[in-house]
Amino acid sequence: MTATARLSRRGFIGSAAAAGAFSFGFSFPLATPGLAQSFETPEVNAWVVVSRDETVTIRIARAEMGQGSLTGLAQLVAEELDCDWERVTFELVKPSENARRDGVWRSMATGGSQAIRGSHNYVRAGGAAARKMLVNAAAAGWGVPAGECTVALGVITHGPSGQSTTYGAVAEAANAETPPEDVTLKDPADWTIAGQPKLRLDTADKLDGSLVYGMDFTMPDMLVAVPKACPVHGGRLVSFEAEAVQGMPGVRRVLRVDDETVAVVADTFWRAKTAMDALPIEWDAGENAAVSSETIAASLTEGLRAETPYIGNQAGDAPAALSDAEQVFEAEYSFPFLNHAPMEPIAATVRWTTDRCEMWGPTQVAESALRTLAQTAGLPTEACEVHVMRIGGSFGRRLMTDYIAMATRIAMQLPGTPVKMMWTREEDMLQGRFHPVTRCSLRGAIDEAGDLQALHMRISGQSISYSLNPEGVTANGDGSVFQGLEPDGDQFRLGYNPPNLLIDYAMRNTHIRPGWWRGVNLNQNALYLECFIEEMARATGQDPLAFRRKLLANSPKHLAVLEAAAQGIGWNGPAQEGRHRGLAQVMGFGSYVAAAAEVSLQDGWLQIHRIVAATDPGHVVNPQQIDAQVAGSFVYGLSALLYGECTVADGRIQQENFDTYNVLRLDEMPEVEVITVPSGGFWGGVGEPTIAVGAPAVLNAVSAALGRPVRHLPLVNADLRPAAAGEAG
């Protein structure tokens, strides 16, 4: 009777097909559009469907790309619903459905670690409302006051009369109940489903190959398009010789997609790619061909000294205090371009006709994906459909919808034919939306007592908003470049408050297209400041933890996670012979995070032995998923620290695959210890903030081991031999 839901976690192999009917979350082309088509009962409300077999389907509006929020959100709904978690499954919401129902699921955007912290109130309210409607329906059937009924595990009981029924039995009647005007949410202290280390709801089909990602999608008569855009961003496609490849196996069309892109359309990916590799193409790279990593660095370095109106945080008079000070430390750091490089490269299937356009594929922003689709297709949004899918990793890449527009332009040249656009890894690497490049100069004045009296931090570099969200650039510049350095705010807040402080920014944009990369600007800001803080501590003979304690006197939550991480690594005791430690802390995406790392250097390379993370996210919805996110954040952040760098020559990105864009693998994976110290009263994200402390904690440990600071990423370019002279930069 409850086999489907149970199987999805207990006997996962047998369940995959059964679960699939509910969980793919997209309708196949011939199916009637709309939700819950596979259920014999109507929904209770927008969030909850209970079928007669007691399966509870919870609707999820935010994208799932591996971060696990799908399960966390379902836990929050199920908690208020008081259903049996073992019978819970999920269904993904389509943006068209959200629009038709006046945004009942609110924002579908999934970025900025917002999935849970940005929706916990209304998803819990959705679960609580459904519970009320189910209980009211049962009570009405019995003719008893609803207030006399209790619920446990989806069974409603009327104590006085001893009657009981189930959610599945009253679900249909509940649909007709008036939705309650307000509901009382549980105190998190009373949670039994939320807050628990539940296994993911969406695992089974990842283990037997049955999960259909955007790359895997197929439908009858579908063709595959492999595009190639001008490798120099902003350059032009001049011409291509279609005749040279038209006779190759499987090739159907060679077409101009837009001013800078050509595509080969064939019956399969490999045939399209083979023809693309053979296609003679003439590009006009334009003036950007003169740009290189060196010219970009020169422009950013100029920005470090230039006048600028953009100020992110200011107290006292830092320039004056610095010029009067006796002891001033200075450093210059840099952070390179990085590609998201999710394991699933970009892919999307679009079918266009003169009156309808549909997309089957992944997106982190389903609603703007639908708008992009409609605008490109020249159709009203009501005539369009985005069939969302679970994503093979994204890390911010699919917050941008460029690839949806591209897939649509291709499909529009083959009316009625579904076309799956698939990027090669090389195309994905060249046409990414890169972590912006910045440099930073820091100057700090330390007085005789060892206290930081003045700090000036100048960031120079690329603005993501300038490229993607111009309205985000105001008279104060792109405010988001100050992530983690702001004087106040509940998302990002600098914990340090020296008496004289100036943090400012010189915007220096490049033609390399930037994007929101997991952790965004918190990554470099935390690295710059946390490494400089530790440099100053070591230079003045102070313990880096004790030095920060003084600076964080008014920031107890910042300090608490730092203390927890330091304790976890054994900061107060000596490290093993040859091992060195570093720390970092930051507040970002609503959470307080810190890391402590222990490394050793051997033969010019490092081994990261241990890394401890401490996180205060306010509330914990699923502790084992937090562990997974924190460990994953370290892998992501440390891949960048060790290897990640996209360089530019002749205007184009030089790294085209994992052989030149290396990432952390299992052999280098440190032991990770996750400490979660939820202090309650707020809701912070966990998918991103830890990335920003992993790299500086390790870099600080490396600098401690070397006895001199390393200030430029990635470490693979640095000389890590202790005796080497002069690396300072």
Partner 1 sequence: MARLTINGSLVDLDIEDDTPLLWALRDHAGLTGTKYGCGVAQCGACTVHVDGVAMRSCVVPVGSIEETEEIVTIEGLGQGAPHPVQQAWAELDVAQCGYCQAGMLMAASALLAQNPTPSDEDIRAEITNICRCGTYGRVLAGIKLAAERMATPSDQG
Q: What angle do CA 646, 651, 654 make, to 5 degrees?
A: 35
Stretch near partner 1 under the rule CB under 8 A, chosen from 72-80, 256-264, 654-662, 698-706: 654-662
Q: How far is the CB of 390 from ligand FES (least distance, A)?
A: 11
- Calculate the CA 610 to chain-centre distance: 24
Say how far apart CA 408 and CA 39 lie, in whole Å.
32
**Residue 213 found at the interface with partner 1 (CB under 8 A):** yes
How many residues sit close enough to partner 1 to count as binding (CB under 8 A)?
63
Stretch near partner 1 under the rule CB under 8 A, chosen from 39-47, 102-110, 197-205, 646-654: 197-205
Strand spans (E) along 344-424: 347-353, 356-361, 384-388, 419-422
Nearer CB in complex with ligand FES: 127/393: 393
**Residue 9 found at the interface with partner 1 (CB under 8 A):** yes
Q: Which does 211 bind (CB under 5 to 8 A by kind): partner 1, ligand FES, none?
A: partner 1
Nearer CB in complex with ligand FES: 66/95: 66
Pick the binder of partner 1 from 94, 132, 228, 390 (CB under 8 A): 390
Nearer CB in complex with partner 1: 509/624: 624
Pick the binder of partner 1 from 212, 297, 383, 468 (CB under 8 A): 212
Tell me which residues in 326-345 interact with partner 1 (CB under 8 A).
341-345
Stretch near partner 1 under the rule CB under 8 A, chosen from 8-16, 275-283, 456-464, 601-609: 8-16
Q: How many Cα atoms occupy the beta-carbon half-sphere of 586 within 13 Å?
A: 35
Nearer CB in complex with partner 1: 250/450: 250
Nearer CB in complex with ligand FES: 66/714: 66
Tell me which residues in 360-399 interact with ligand FES (CB under 6 A).
393
**Residue 729 found at the interface with partner 1 (CB under 8 A):** no
Q: How far is the CB of 66 from ligand FES (least distance, A)?
A: 5
Say how far apart CA 488 and CA 486 lie, in whole Å.
5
Say how far apart CA 25 and CA 672 lie, in whole Å.
34
Say how far apart CA 425 and CA 277 lie, in whole Å.
13
Q: Find the length of the chain.
A: 729
**Residue 2 found at the interface with partner 1 (CB under 8 A):** no
Say how far apart CA 558 and CA 610 lie, in whole Å.
22
Torsional class of 420: left (φ above 0), alpha (ψ -120 to 50), beta (otherwise): beta
Pick the binder of ligand FES from 153, 238, 343, 553 (CB under 6 A): 343
**Residue 17 found at the interface with partner 1 (CB under 8 A):** no
Six token digits for residue 38: 């596979």
Stretch near partner 1 under the rule CB under 8 A, chosen from 128-136, 169-177, 204-212, 573-581: 204-212
Six token digits for residue 640: 């960048």
Six token digits for residue 69: 């929020």
Say how far apart CA 80 and CA 122 lie, in whole Å.
11
State the SS3 of 109-151. Answer: CCCCCCCCCCCHHHHHHHHHHHHHHHHHHHHHHHCCCHHHEEE
**Residue 214 found at the interface with ligand FES (CB under 6 A):** no
Q: How far is the CB of 359 from partner 1 (least distance, A)?
A: 19
Pick the binder of partner 1 from 65, 370, 404, 596 (CB under 8 A): 65
**Residue 611 found at the interface with partner 1 (CB under 8 A):** no
Q: Which does 424 bind (CB under 5 to 8 A by kind): partner 1, ligand FES, none?
A: partner 1
In the block, residue with structure tokens 């296994």: 199
Q: How far is the CB of 630 from partner 1 (least distance, A)?
A: 9
Longest dimension (CA), the chain: 86
Tell me which residues in 544-563 interact with ligand FES (CB under 6 A).
none
Q: Give the single-character DSSP code of 337.
A: B
User: Sign of dihedral through CA atoms 403, 27, 85, 135?
Assistant: positive
Nearer CB in complex with partner 1: 131/390: 390
Q: Which residues pair with 676 in a beta bridge?
A: 615
Q: Which does 636 bind (CB under 5 to 8 A by kind): partner 1, ligand FES, none?
A: partner 1
Nearer CB in complex with partner 1: 332/344: 344
**Residue 66 found at the interface with ligand FES (CB under 6 A):** yes
| Whether 390 contacts 202, CB under 8 Å | yes
Nearer CB in complex with partner 1: 413/662: 662
In the block, residue with structure tokens 């020296």: 498
Kind plus residue range of the DSSP H or E element containing 430: helix 425-430
Six token digits for residue 315: 């107290």
| Whether 355 contacts 538, CB under 8 Å | no
**Residue 345 found at the interface with ligand FES (CB under 6 A):** no
DSSP string, 35-53: S-TT-SS--SBTTEEE-TT
**Residue 303 found at the interface with ligand FES (CB under 6 A):** no
Residues near ligand FES, by CB under 6 A: 66, 343, 393
